[in-house]
Amino acid sequence: MSGYFKTALLMAAMTGLFMAVGGLIGGSNGALIALVIAAVMNLMTWWNSDRAVLSMTGARLVSEATAPEYVRLVYRLADGAGMPRPAVYVIDSDQPNAFATGRNPANAAVAASTGLLQRLTPEEIAGVMAHELAHIRNHDTLIMTITATMAGAIGMLGNFAFFFGGRNREGGVLGTLLVMIFAPMAAAIVQMAISRSREYEADRMGAEICGQPLWLASALRKIDHFAKGIDNRQAEANPALAHMFIINPLHAHRRDALFSTHPATENRIAALVAMAGQDMPQPGLSENDRSVARSSIPRSGRRLR
């Protein structure tokens, strides 16, 4: 199934759900209004997906002049993968994390947190950014952003129903309760189902782009550890964005489950270790891996700036 077909299918499903919620709130008129709103949102999301997400996370654009090693690393990985160079952003957050956004590879952006650039080695950062480039190549970024936007909107409809719903409309109090409980849950289920499968594929392709599966495996282990103890204020303020990050920024459960936005980190690491031909996860990169990295990744110190 092509990325564009999946995106169209998702937009149709989320629009239908949006209309159903609108119908419960305001009857036929509510459904019609919800349809118009959904159509406008779909169009705006399609053309401005990267700007919307980058704005919500407070990401700032960087260049070779302001973040030379980080930007050159991303460019080198993109060039090696035969992809257009994405715009490169930094998020001011101590929690190590990263995401990609944009409607297609020619209009894409990658963003890494200051915590990631400071706490991870260049090898690990290369693995993370290769993972994000894989999302761009797979056209995941568009469907991820549309899902985040629509899920957030449906959640707002639930809040609207709580404050303005009542007996004098279709569904009455029961309809209000259904909207409040099940509409956000339904949107979240769609969001989670998409997230879980795409992460494994982006891990696989990202490992191929950087050429070292253990770099990404080591990065995932570190990010997962820090994400459990460091808050991500941008994601906390916009929970619908959580599925876009490489590791759930909202302190996700450790095991695979229906209501997890990401697969369990240990399962992702195991898959990467299998790619590298190892018998078991290693606590970090070997010195040999690091020597290989030093010959291919620009660095003036232990961390990228």
Please check if 131 is assigned to a binding site. yes
Whole-number average pLDDT of the chain = 78
Per the model's pLDDT, the better-predicted residue between 61 and 140 turns out to be 61
The dihedral through the CA atoms of 23, 141, 213, 275 has a sign that is: positive
Q: Of 33-42, 123-132, 180-189, where does the model show the most confidence?
A: 123-132
The span from the CA of 58 to the CA of 82, in Å, is: 29
* pLDDT tens-place string over residues 120-154: 999 999 999 999 999 999 888 877 777 666 666 66
E-strand spans in 57-155? 60-61, 87-91, 98-104, 107-113
38 or 176, which is more confident = 38
Q: Which of 10-14, 96-100, 249-253 has the highest mean pLDDT?
A: 96-100
Q: What is the pLDDT of residues 192-228, one digit of tens each?
A: 656 677 899 999 999 999 999 999 999 999 999 999 9
DSSP reduced 3-state for 200: helix
243 is in an annotated binding site: no
Residues β-bridged to residue 98: 112
- Do residues 219 and 124 make contact, with C-beta atoms less than 8 angstroms apart? yes
Per the model's pLDDT, the better-predicted residue between 257 and 62 turns out to be 62
Q: Does residue 63 or residue 262 have the better pLDDT? A: 63
Q: Which of 206, 51, 53, 56 is nearest to 135 (CA)?
A: 206
CA angle 139, 143, 145 (to 5 degrees): 110
Q: What is the pTM of this model?
A: 0.74
More confident of the two residues 105 and 39: 105
Neighbours of 230 (CB within 10 A): 17
What strand order describes the sheet that includes 98-104? 60-61, 87-91, 107-113, 98-104
**Is 302's pLDDT higher than 50?**
no
* pLDDT at 86 > cutoff 90: yes
CA distances from 195 to 163, 185, 200, 228, 304 (A): 31, 15, 9, 19, 28
Within 8 A by CB and 6+ apart from 153, the residues are 18, 37, 38, 41
Helix axes 172-210, 213-227, angle to 10 degrees: 140
pLDDT digits (tens, 9 = 90+) for 234-290: 888 877 788 889 999 987 444 445 456 688 899 999 999 999 985 434 444 444 444
Q: Annotated catalytic sites, by residue?
A: 132
The stretch 3-17 carries a mean pLDDT of: 69
Q: 225 labelled as ligand-binding?
A: no
Mean pLDDT of 92-109: 93
Separation of alpha carbons 102 and 45, rounded Å = 10
CA atoms 214, 215, 217, 221: torsion sign: positive
Residue-wise over 124-133: b if at least 16 C-beta within 10 A, else e? Answer: bbbbbbbbbb
